[in-house]
């Protein structure tokens, strides 16, 4: 991705590394990370924008590249549970049980941080969020770098998260040193974020590991109000990321709750230039406006896998108003619901 700046010098360019086709790709990504550079890496959830988590200035560049608000902390990625110990004050027994059951995988656990974690990572909080991803290329690059990697999603702040290397470059080309292509992400929405830093385990962000699965291991898990509802103005967010505009395409998105028939009737009655539907497979036959489906109504995993790509594709097609059929907010569907309602800026319509 070569680019010339106006003076004719070669400006910073993003190096494209393909994990499947190039044997040296992972080693190159790891080398750049050790040098304090930024590399987007594939994970099973979404692509992450990684830096050496123990290098404060390198981590600060993540915020710059994304345009991320300074008070929104990052998740630290490790390759094995043993690497957790030096990053936190103490690992309670419940945390070990969770790691045993869900790591490597899409679960992030928040605990009190140790002195090793730079303030840039925790954004001034006393806690740190840690996850062990399962994607083989993520595992390989963390191991080769030989240090934990701080990585938020590799999108410009506020945009839908990228689930392919192409979508990473759309937002980040020229802003980061490299992208490691590991194919499309399997889960498609960001990790489940669980805080074990308080008296009761608290779900701050739903994801591929469901609240139901967490309760099987922990018994009680509280659902933070910000998971499904808009924070009241001025209210403190348990997870700072929850208070920002998020996952938003350029188009205005309106989320519609209700059965297939009323959904199609409503959308068809509001057709016009720039209007499209984000729908389920079952809705397609009834719609007389352009649409993109994000999966079967009962298949929340398919919806999670497709959601961000479909939101970006609707922008590519130039739509300005998207009526989105709401997923069921349970199981993995709660994660899809949480992202879509934010993409809609909490604009929701309920049809009988
Ligand atoms: P991202 O990886 O960009 O999707 O963002 C990570 C999410 O985890 C954001 O919503 C953060 O606010 C949240 N997060 C990270 N670290 C912490 C922490 N120590 N306490 C609470 N939330 C956190
Ligand atoms: Mg993000």
Distance CA 193, CA 242 (A): 11
* Nearest ligand atom owner, CA of 73: 1
pLDDT value at 7 more than 60: no
pLDDT value at 5 more than 60: no
Instruction: Say how many Å lie between the CA of residue 240 and the centre of ligand 1.
Output: 7
Mean pLDDT of the chain: 94
Distance CA 341, CA 227 (A): 10
Instruction: Say how many Å lie between the CA of residue 293 and the centre of ligand 1.
Output: 29
Pairing assessment for the beta strands 127-131 and 107-112 based on DSSP bridges: antiparallel
CB count, 10 Å around CB of 115?
7
Q: Which residues pair with 279 in a beta bridge?
A: 293
Ligand 1 neighbour 75 (Cβ under 6 A): yes
Ligand 1 neighbour 50 (Cβ under 6 A): no
Mutation test residue for ligand 1: of 40, 59, 66, 74, the one with most atoms within 8 Å of CB? 74
Ligand 1 neighbour 131 (Cβ under 6 A): no
The model's pTM is: 0.94
* Nearest ligand atom owner, CA of 247: 2
pLDDT value at 2 more than 80: no
3-class SS at 5? coil
Q: Per residue in 209-257, pLDDT tens?
A: 999 999 999 999 999 998 988 887 777 777 777 666 688 999 999 999 9
Q: Per residue in 263-306, pLDDT tens?
A: 999 999 999 999 999 999 999 999 999 999 999 999 999 999 99
pLDDT value at 125 more than 90: yes
């Amino acid at each position: 991705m070569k680019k010339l700046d106006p003076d004719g010098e070669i400006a910073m360019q993003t190096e494209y590394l393909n994990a499947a086709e190039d044997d040296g790709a992972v080693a190159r990504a790891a080398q750049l990370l050790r040098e304090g550079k930024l590399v987007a890496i594939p994970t099973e959830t979404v692509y992450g924008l990684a830096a050496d988590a123990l290098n404060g200035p390198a981590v600060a560049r993540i915020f710059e590249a994304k345009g991320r608000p300074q008070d929104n902390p990052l998740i630290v990625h490790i390759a094995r549970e043993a690497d957790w110990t030096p990053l936190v004050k103490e690992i309670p027994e419940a945390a070990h049980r969770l790691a045993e059951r869900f790591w490597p995988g899409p679960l992030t656990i928040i605990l009190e941080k140790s002195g090793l974690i730079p303030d840039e990572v925790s954004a001034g909080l006393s806690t740190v969020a840690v996850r062990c991803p399962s994607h083989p290329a993520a595992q390989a690059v963390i191991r080769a770098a030989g240090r934990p990697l701080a990585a938020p999603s590799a999108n410009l702040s506020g945009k839908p998260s990228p689930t392919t290397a192409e979508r990473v470059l759309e937002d980040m080309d020229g802003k980061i040193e490299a992208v490691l292509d590991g194919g499309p992400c399997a889960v498609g929405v960001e990790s489940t974020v669980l805080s074990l830093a308080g008296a009761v385990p608290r779900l701050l962000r739903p994801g591929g590991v469901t609240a139901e699965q967490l309760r099987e291991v922990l018994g009680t898990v509280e659902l933070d109000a910000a998971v499904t509802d808009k924070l009241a103005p001025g209210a403190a967010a348990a997870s700072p990321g929850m208070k920002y505009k998020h996952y938003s395409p350029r188009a205005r998105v309106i989320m519609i709750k209700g059965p297939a028939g009323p959904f199609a009737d409503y959308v068809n009655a509001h057709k016009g230039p720039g209007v499209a539907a984000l729908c389920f497979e079952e809705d397609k036959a009834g719609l007389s406006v352009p649409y993109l489906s994000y999966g079967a109504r009962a298949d929340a995993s398919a919806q999670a896998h497709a959601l961000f790509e479909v939101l970006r594709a609707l922008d590519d097609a130039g739509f300005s108003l998207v009526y989105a059929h709401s997923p069921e907010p349970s199981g993995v569907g709660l994660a899809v619901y949480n992202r879509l309602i934010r993409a809609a800026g909490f604009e929701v319509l309920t049809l009988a």
